[in-house]
Structure 1
Amino acid sequence: MNDEKDPQGNPWIKSAMIWAGVIVALLLFVSMFDSRTASSAGAGIAYSEFRAKVQEGQVKDVAIAADRISGTLTSGQKFSTVPVNDPGLTGLLDDYNVKYSGQAEEQPSFWMILIYQSLPFLLILGIAFFVLRQMQKGGGAGGAMGFGKSKAKLLTEKHGKVTFDDVAGIDEAREELQEIVEFLKDPSKFARLGGKIPKGALLVGSPGTGKTLLARAIAGEAGVPFFTISGSDFVEMFVGVGASRVRDMFEQAKKNAPCIVFIDEIDAVGRHRGAGLGNGNDEREQTLNQLLVEMDGFEANEGIIIVAATNRPDVLDPALLRPGRFDRQVVVPRPDIEGREKILAVHMKKVPLAPDVNPRTIARGTPGFSGADLANLVNEAALMAARRGKRLVAMDEFEAAKDKVMMGSERRSMVMTDDEKKMTAYHEAGHAIVAVHEPASDPIHKATIIPRGRALGMVMRLPERDSYSYHRDKMHANMAVAMGGRVAEEIIFGYDKVSSGASGDIQYATKLARDMVTQWGMSDKLGPLQYEEQQGETFLGYSQSQRVHMSDETAKLIDKEIRGLVEQGYARAQEILKGHEDQLHLLANAMLEYETLSGEEIKTLLDKGEITRDDGTTIKPSTIPAVGSSIPKTRRRKGPFGDPSPAGA
């Protein structure tokens, strides 16, 4: 790319330097004149000293004026003094033979009067001329008169060149945008067959999926000028400013065509017109109208490709999405397991890795992570390794970083009583036992009773692969697993000792049952009908749903079916845990003793009753119920997920 140039900065500096030079020249001229006047007057002496020199015969001649006496000494030196009321001065000069003469008051020249009087007016005219000139030019994007100037920035290689090699996990989106790059490099390839490149490409995807990174990669690959601007940069409190900025942006783009203009978060200016309260926002609508005209209006803008990004395509104005403006919508989805592995490989190139790091395992354990989430995960692992004083980032750090990102930091300072720890251990063991004995459930990855975030413990299950749809048997299995913690508390501690720890599980099971009944048609009594529809807006992170018009009898039946599905899951969890109560005690004691167990350790423990570790040590927890007994001291061991946890954490 060409080096970045500021077309408005150089004239501004040039004008400022010209006026500064004029002012400095005037000041120098005046100072030179004053200095010459002072030098011609000679050195100043006191009047008493002047009389003494006359009496000593050192004065040759003098010129007497009303306010000054100047003359020459016998040595040829010039002097001057200020007279006082001395009537005998002329007599003194006659006595010592000093030539004297009168001198009229010196009047300043016409040019000096003109300079002194015109200098303030010249300064005022110069400032006014400078301001008017800046107003005519627009004043630059950052000047006082630059409201209507575009804030688009020209991206160059010194900002950090990005190519398609730096973009991973979104191959389909990259392929669609590769066509734009090929057109910019070789337009005749498409023109000879009558094809026209799309005027605009809209990148749609969740936050952090790599929309801006894709746009930067287009600029890096195409090698053409790349202007970038945010949608909010067009919005101003003054009506008409946004439209002026749009016009100026396209004028700059025309001068640098062929080029790419990237508008990030275009929904800030491209929202549906007339959707607001009253008549809407006049400034935003005028800005949008100007953008529509510039993209596909009466005058064609050849060689300018608009690339925009948003995570809210549903709020954009239909006129913005029609063919001829944003012809192509490129969906940038969250990466699948293959994509996550590739993204991790890109970010891991900058990190010194230990031999045990397996990107595939990390990718499998991060479903739903975006590219930004994975970059943050690698960074957290590197920071954690640095805090521990390691030279390489090992799998332990990646596991700990993943837990921190997904569940929050460990709350080791949290003080829990023995009864609360036992309750938590049996609660999490209940989830794990039901998950092990439910064929449709995802395999367990980890179980822990170390508090993280808002949770006192966690059983993490990971799918073997990414799931894009769920089957009925898996939904019933998930509800049974969710109820496993509550059922375990009731079996071990009794009905009156059930805690509030299952609130999140109950919320999950209820929502899952409601979706099965009202949206997915999985109720035999209600049939395959939709009884709730999702709203586009979200509030506090939760999507809003609204029931369609229905009778009171149907609403009662819906509530009854939802309760029936949750109670089925509750009954299934009771059946499993009562049939495997010995495994429940075994796993709960193991978690009280070791706090964190991997999925493989849990499976081996339930099959053999003990775990033999790589170092030859054997983990064999007691099968005696821990209720009413003291908690065993946590064994100091190096587990598969990092450093050992202190007792009572």
Structure 2
Amino acid sequence: MSDNNQNKNNGNQEPRQPNFNFKNNRFALFLVIGLFGLFILMFLPGTGGMGREIPYSQFLAYLEQGEIASVKIIDYRKIEGQLASQEGEYGRFISRIPYTDQTLIPLLKEQGVRFSGEESPISPFAVIIQFLPILIGIVFIWLLFRQVQGGGNKAFTFGKSKAKRYVDVNNDKRISFADVAGQTEAKYELQEVVEFLKNPGRFTRMGAKIPKGVLLVGMPGTGKTLLAKATAGEAGVPFFHMSGSDFVEMFVGVGASRVRDLFDQGRKNAPCILFIDELDAVGRTRGAGYGGGHDEREQTLNQMLVEMDGFDTKDGVIMIAATNRPDVLDPALLRPGRFDRQVVVDMPDMQEREAILKIHASKIPLGKSVDLTTIAKATPGASGADIANLVNESALYAARKNREYVEMEDFEEARDKMLMGVARKSKVISEKDKLATAYHEAGHALLHYYLDNADPLHKVSIVPRGRALGVAISLPDEDKYSRNKGWLQDRIVIAYGGYVAEDLMYGETTTGTQNDLKQATDLARRMVCEWGMSDLGPVSFGQEDEPIFLGKEIATHKDYSEETAQRIDQQISKILNDGLAKARKIIVDNKDKLESLARALMSRETLTDVEVREVVGLEEKTQK
């Protein structure tokens, strides 16, 4: 699965409109400017010609000297007066009384000064100062309401859908089914949706009804979202994208409101496609959570059920959802009339992986050594996202080495990183531990050449990667979707290779065998309990007890007796002991080849299948 251009999402996304609209908010703008102007005016010096201000002590001195002609006392706090020696504006003065002076009036009478009194007028600036915090708070709240408003007449828009709309800005950048490698069956199923959106009359004339909902089911990275976008691109209709987790918020009722709004948007823009990614976040089985019937997620699911069931096929609105957990979805979602069609988006096979590689590799300069078919064979089980990451990592490796082209060894390095982790070449390992690791990995590698059902060895290395000190990789010749008993038994034998090699060379084993033993035990237990590959017959033991709301297995229901449990343990031990004995016999009989392979790993660290054959003296294609 591949996207022909990762930048298409950005190119197809409708530009977001700015939240601030001058026409709708100009009143608030003018109000803020006016308040700011009044605030400045309050601090401007007075221009009313009240005269110069003198200290109260100087005023008393003028009064005793008979220099005061007349005064006006305002609230016993302020004096406005006229000097007798000067006329007009030059003789006017003001003075402020710093304390309650009971002798002021008698002094004025004694000096024969004309005096009067009045209360101070109410200043509009003082009123503004008192109410300014309230006004600022009102304006701030009003602007906040305008900000959270979605352009309508509602005060809040918590219930508005967060769906992102993708439109075709440029037809050349439109995603189509040609940009999706492989998935022939999935594209065929979705082609009916495209045909309905383009020509609904073709179906309605025959009395047929298009599926109201299409559920894309597949593992992560297989391209479910890309298929939905390609469906919208092929149909040439608006595409609304929303994640399942976007519906549920901390506010009760928000999820249901957003569901209603999403479907309203769909009806207004019909014909269109509504796409919900990770549907299991909101569509899990009701009654499995801790909140009971009043759980917010369940209210959201109930609203979605109602909206989907109320769809009229003439509306031209198609619901597409994606999930990798169809087993946890509510049965009401999957019934006919809602998501009545399930499209499986499976992991790509070898041919599809090669097609995906060609699409992604077309964006980077490739060297002549690159063989995409070989890379496709060497990446079994990889999803479309894994392959896209593989191509990108190989380009990064080539750039680090200042190359003009991406070579095959860059793809090899990128694949090893994807499968095993980053090589920790800076890790300091003693020669003793390094030799023990070499014997361990040589034991794994050697067994591949003496087992009839084992996959061919691809590479063995003692370079630390991830949490492992070494690794032996085997790759199948072709994609396989089931395994027989012989392959599983040989896989257990190979898992014991490192354990046997350490015990043979040192007389004891190390903690490095932990993962090998775990793999062998797990395979043996599943052979007995799940796959019926033991003397107990074709019986399955221990049904999984999996609570839906936790989403993972936490317990196994024991549906068998203690006697049966003992027989199960005996069969598991028998399979493991047989595998251990077989591994020991092969490695003991070929101890000289084990030592030669370990010495070669010590000197070269990494050996391919061809190099291993040269070291141990096996001719090519003599395996099996």
Query: Normalised by the shorter chain, which TM-score bucket?
Result: 0.7 to 0.9
Separation in structure 2 between the aligned mates of residue 174 and residue 460 of structure 1, nearest angstrom = 34
**Pairing 1:210-609 to 2, within 5 Å after superposition:** 210-277=223-290, 279=292, 282-297=295-310, 302-493=315-506, 496-523=507-534, 525-536=535-546, 546=556, 548-607=558-617
3-state DSSP of counterpart to 2:319? strand
User: How far does the alpha carbon of each residue in 1:86-144 deviate from its partner, in whole angstroms, 9 at most, with x for none?
Assistant: x9xxxxxxxxxxxxxxxxx9x99xxx99x989x98996998599579869x96569x98
Separation in structure 2 between the aligned mates of residue 128 and residue 539 of structure 1, nearest angstrom = 43
- Contact kept, 8 Å, 1:68 with 1:83, in 2: the verdict is yes
Cα distance, 1:187 vs. partner? 2.0
Q: Indicate whether 1:166 and 2:179 are aligned.
A: yes
- Relative distance call for 1:475 and 1:545 in structure 2 (3 A) is farther
3-state DSSP of counterpart to 1:229? strand
The amino acid of 2:181's aligned partner reads A
Separation in structure 2 between the aligned mates of residue 42 and residue 515 of structure 1, nearest angstrom = 102
**Pairing 1:94-133 to 2, within 5 Å after superposition:** 127=139
Separation in structure 1 between the aligned mates of residue 410 and residue 155 of structure 2, nearest angstrom = 51
Match of 1:20 among 2, 7, 29: 29
User: How far does the alpha carbon of each residue in 1:483-532 deviate from its partner, in whole angstroms, 9 at most, with x for none?
Assistant: 22222223333xx3333322222211111111111111111x31111113
3-state DSSP of counterpart to 2:315? coil
Equivalent pairs counted in the alignment come to 573
The amino acid of 2:324's aligned partner reads N
Q: Which residue of 1 aligns with 2:111?
A: none
User: How far does the alpha carbon of each residue in 1:350-393 deviate from its partner, in whole angstroms, 9 at most, with x for none?
Assistant: 22111111122112111111111112222221222222222221
Q: Which residue of 2 aligns with 1:54?
A: none
- Relative distance call for 1:244 and 1:80 in structure 2 (3 A) is farther
Cα distance, 1:193 vs. partner? 2.1
Cα distance, 1:414 vs. partner? 2.7
- Contact kept, 8 Å, 2:80 with 2:92, in 1: the verdict is yes
3-state DSSP of counterpart to 1:437? coil
3-state DSSP of counterpart to 2:543? strand
- Contact kept, 8 Å, 1:532 with 1:545, in 2: the verdict is no
Work out the percentage of aligned pairs sharing the same amino acid.
49
User: How far does the alpha carbon of each residue in 1:285-336 deviate from its partner, in whole angstroms, 9 at most, with x for none?
Assistant: 1111111111113877822211111111111111111111112111112211
Which range moves more in the overlay, 298-307 or 321-330? 298-307
Separation in structure 2 between the aligned mates of residue 19 and residue 608 of structure 1, nearest angstrom = 86
- For structure 2, list consecutive stretches of 5 or more residues without a partner in the other structure: 1-11, 55-70, 74-78, 83-88, 96-103, 109-117
Q: Which residue of 2 aligns with 1:91?
A: none
- Relative distance call for 1:83 and 1:415 in structure 2 (3 A) is closer
- Contact kept, 8 Å, 1:533 with 1:545, in 2: the verdict is no
3-state DSSP of counterpart to 1:550? coil
3-state DSSP of counterpart to 1:436? coil
3-state DSSP of counterpart to 1:497? coil
- Contact kept, 8 Å, 1:43 with 1:79, in 2: the verdict is no
- Relative distance call for 1:481 and 1:553 in structure 2 (3 A) is same
Separation in structure 1 between the aligned mates of residue 575 and residue 157 of structure 2, nearest angstrom = 64
Separation in structure 2 between the aligned mates of residue 558 and residue 130 of structure 1, nearest angstrom = 72
Cα distance, 1:436 vs. partner? 0.5
Separation in structure 2 between the aligned mates of residue 497 and residue 237 of structure 1, nearest angstrom = 58
Cα distance, 1:469 vs. partner? 0.9
Which range moves more in the overlay, 444-453 or 178-187? 178-187
- Contact kept, 8 Å, 1:203 with 1:330, in 2: the verdict is yes
- Contact kept, 8 Å, 2:243 with 2:279, in 1: the verdict is yes
- Relative distance call for 1:69 and 1:149 in structure 2 (3 A) is farther
3-state DSSP of counterpart to 1:441? coil
Q: Which residue of 2 aligns with 1:615?
A: none
Q: Which residue of 1 aligns with 2:220?
A: 207
- Relative distance call for 1:45 and 1:129 in structure 2 (3 A) is closer
Cα distance, 1:567 vs. partner? 1.3
Q: Return the TM-score normalized by structure 1.
A: 0.76
Separation in structure 2 between the aligned mates of residue 79 and residue 116 of structure 1, nearest angstrom = 33
- Relative distance call for 1:249 and 1:134 in structure 2 (3 A) is farther
Q: Which residue of 2 aligns with 1:151?
A: 162
User: How far does the alpha carbon of each residue in 1:382-430 deviate from its partner, in whole angstroms, 9 at most, with x for none?
Assistant: 2222222222211111111111121112222333333322222222222
Q: Which residue of 2 aligns with 1:52?
A: none
Separation in structure 1 between the aligned mates of residue 264 and residue 248 of structure 2, nearest angstrom = 19
Q: Which residue of 1 aligns with 2:65?
A: none
Cα distance, 1:435 vs. partner? 0.9
The amino acid of 2:569's aligned partner reads D
Q: Which residue of 1 aligns with 2:3?
A: none
Cα distance, 1:198 vs. partner? 1.7
Cα distance, 1:175 vs. partner? 2.4
The amino acid of 1:507's aligned partner reads K
The amino acid of 1:289's aligned partner reads N
- Relative distance call for 1:196 and 1:492 in structure 2 (3 A) is same
- For structure 1, list consecutive stretches of 5 or more residues without a partner in the other structure: 48-63, 71-77, 88-104, 611-649
- Contact kept, 8 Å, 2:145 with 2:156, in 1: the verdict is no
The amino acid of 2:157's aligned partner reads G
- Relative distance call for 1:178 and 1:30 in structure 2 (3 A) is same
User: How far does the alpha carbon of each residue in 1:254-281 deviate from its partner, in whole angstroms, 9 at most, with x for none?
Assistant: 2211111111112121111111125255
- Relative distance call for 1:569 and 1:206 in structure 2 (3 A) is same
Q: Which has the higher contact order (CA 8 A, sep 6+)?
A: 2
Cα distance, 1:536 vs. partner? 4.7
The amino acid of 1:514's aligned partner reads R
Cα distance, 1:225 vs. partner? 1.6
- Contact kept, 8 Å, 1:538 with 1:544, in 2: the verdict is no
The amino acid of 2:614's aligned partner reads T
User: How far does the alpha carbon of each residue in 1:196-228 deviate from its partner, in whole angstroms, 9 at most, with x for none?
Assistant: 222211111112221222222223332222111
Q: Return the TM-score normalized by structure 2.
A: 0.78
- Relative distance call for 1:14 and 1:314 in structure 2 (3 A) is farther
3-state DSSP of counterpart to 1:262? strand
- Contact kept, 8 Å, 1:181 with 1:221, in 2: the verdict is yes
Separation in structure 1 between the aligned mates of residue 155 and residue 354 of structure 2, nearest angstrom = 50
- Relative distance call for 1:571 and 1:153 in structure 2 (3 A) is same
The amino acid of 1:506's aligned partner reads L
User: Over the residues paired in the alignment, what is the CA RMSD in angstroms?
Assistant: 4.4
- Contact kept, 8 Å, 1:19 with 1:126, in 2: the verdict is no
Separation in structure 1 between the aligned mates of residue 522 and residue 339 of structure 2, nearest angstrom = 38
Match of 1:182 among 195, 199, 202: 195
